[in-house]
């Protein structure tokens, strides 16, 4: 049953009541994965773990877009930044992610023109203001950000810009869930599904995954009551042996999602196989630029060779993104790898699991 808590999603009394119900219902050790990095941060920030019984393990999943971006893509971003007459436009999280030999931040310090933007529309504006240069927006994100980047390309098309490009490293969530389940080392009893991705794709997008694996799945939001309500529904499904696909975030998520945003995605992108850090190449999980929008493709325009490169030695980001290790099981955590000196992307990103553990756990 979904309870509509309306505006009471930060009410401590409701949180305590939900936590008590979870404790009373949980009848065995269970492992729940919060797929999304925003959930990981929210769970730490609100102290949700301290409210749950020891029998419930919360695992972080592959839902931080910067963290799952393949090392080869990071290296390609660096290679692009080194090109003459190129302006790189990127969200800030990517700046410090270490590639094989450099990072965007280091390239910027060495003289490359790398600009942090807050919206892909800012990158379009940069292109209009710098017609003698080529502006490349680094498209990293899931279904949440892809529509806005698609809309930016539509805008660039209207302006007939010939100096605006997008490196599309976008990924989609449902194929990653199936890829996780194919990994024999992964043990998950239920999924806390991402609220913001689901605003766009709707709960129905998970139906094929649910039908294939019959694991409890609940879409939920990011406030304490949202998260606890999602956990309670998962625990109830497991206790009763009645797995389901539920929506504990009805104030934002519908069955069908945002039709307009999905239409933009369909117009601009076409599914492709994509490499994920930790999960390898997942068929149909990427978003390439398609049709009339292929002209914006930075990889094709700059004839970039994106080849597989090894991940940082000793870094366990891959296992952490699959929920088979926690940051404290990485030998580099805290002693070598810190937010000031990140070895892997999970320590850099504001949604990274290692960054969350570093900041909130002792
Ligand atoms: Fe990688 Fe650092 Fe996390 Fe270890 S602590 S997995 S090195 S990001």
At 282 the three-state DSSP class reads strand
Distances from the Cα of 144 to the Cα of 148, 202, 272, angstroms: 8, 11, 18
333 lines ligand 1 (CB under 6 A): yes
Residue 38 CA to residue 314 CA, distance in Å, equals 25
Atom of ligand 1 nearest to the CA of 319: 6
Q: Is the pLDDT score of 91 beyond 50?
A: yes
Are 287 and 170 within 8 A, CB to CB? yes
Q: What was the pLDDT predicted at 271?
A: 97
Atom of ligand 1 nearest to the CA of 358: 5
35 lines ligand 1 (CB under 6 A): no
Among protein residues, the one whose CA lies closest to atom 7 of ligand 1: 315
Q: What DSSP string describes 47-110?
A: THHHHS-TTEEEEEEEE-HHHHB-HHHHHHHHHHHTSTTEEEEE-GGGTT---SS--HHHHHHT
Residue 275 CA to residue 169 CA, distance in Å, equals 9
Q: Is the pLDDT score of 7 beyond 70?
A: no
How remote is the CA of residue 144 from the centroid of ligand 1, in Å? 26
Task: Count CB neighbours of 3 within 10 A.
Answer: 14
DSSP state of 34: E
346 lines ligand 1 (CB under 6 A): yes
Q: What was the pLDDT predicted at 1?
A: 47
Residue 193 CA to residue 214 CA, distance in Å, equals 14
The strand order across the sheet containing 113-116 reads 113-116, 86-90, 134-139, 164-168
Q: Is the pLDDT score of 31 beyond 90?
A: yes
**How large is the average pLDDT for residues 21-50?**
94
Residue 162 CA to residue 156 CA, distance in Å, equals 8
Among protein residues, the one whose CA lies closest to atom 3 of ligand 1: 354
Tens-digit pLDDT profile for residues 217-244: 999 999 999 999 999 999 999 999 999 9
How remote is the CA of residue 342 from the centroid of ligand 1, in Å? 7
Q: Which of the two residues, 4 and 305, has the higher pLDDT score?
A: 305
């Amino acid at each position: 049953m979904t309870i509509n808590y309306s505006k009471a999603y930060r009410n401590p009394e409701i949180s305590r009541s939900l936590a008590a119900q979870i404790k009373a219902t949980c009848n065995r050790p269970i492992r729940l994965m919060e797929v999304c990095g925003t959930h990981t941060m929210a769970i730490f920030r609100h102290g949700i773990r301290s409210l749950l019984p020891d029998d419930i393990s919360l695992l972080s999943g592959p839902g931080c877009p910067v963290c799952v971006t393949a090392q080869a893509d990071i290296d390609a971003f660096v290679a692009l930044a080194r090109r003459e007459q190129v302006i790189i436009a990127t969200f800030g999280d990517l700046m410090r992610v270490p590639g094989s030999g450099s990072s965007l931040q280091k390239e910027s310090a060495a003289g490359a023109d790398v600009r942090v933007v807050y919206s892909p529309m800012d990158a379009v504006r940069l292109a209009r203001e710098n017609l003698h240069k080529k502006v490349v927006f680094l498209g990293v994100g899931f279904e949440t950000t892809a529509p806005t980047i698609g809309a930016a390309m539509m805008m660039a098309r209207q302006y007939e810009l010939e100096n605006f490009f997008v490196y599309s490293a976008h990924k989609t969530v449902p194929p990653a869930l199936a890829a996780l389940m194919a990994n024999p080392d992964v043990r998950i009893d239920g999924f806390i599904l991402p609220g913001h991705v689901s605003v766009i794709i709707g709960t129905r997008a998970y139906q094929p995954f649910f039908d294939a694996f019959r694991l409890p799945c609940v879409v939920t939001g990011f406030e304490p009551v949202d998260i606890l309500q999602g956990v309670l529904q998962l625990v109830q499904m497991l206790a009763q042996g009645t797995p389901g696909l539920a929506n504990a975030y009805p104030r934002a998520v519908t069955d069908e999602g945002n039709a307009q945003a999905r239409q933009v995605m369909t117009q601009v992108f076409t599914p492709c196989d994509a490499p994920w850090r930790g999960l390898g190449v997942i068929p149909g999980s990427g978003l390439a630029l398609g049709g009339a929008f292929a002209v914006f493709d930075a990889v094709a325009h700059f004839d970039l060779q994106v080849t597989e490169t090894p991940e940082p030695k000793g870094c366990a980001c891959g296992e952490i993104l699959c929920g088979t290790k926690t940051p404290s099981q990485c030998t580099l955590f805290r002693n070598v790898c810190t937010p000031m000196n990140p070895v892997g992307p999970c320590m850099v990103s504001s949604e990274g699991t290692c960054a969350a553990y570093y900041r909130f756990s002792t």
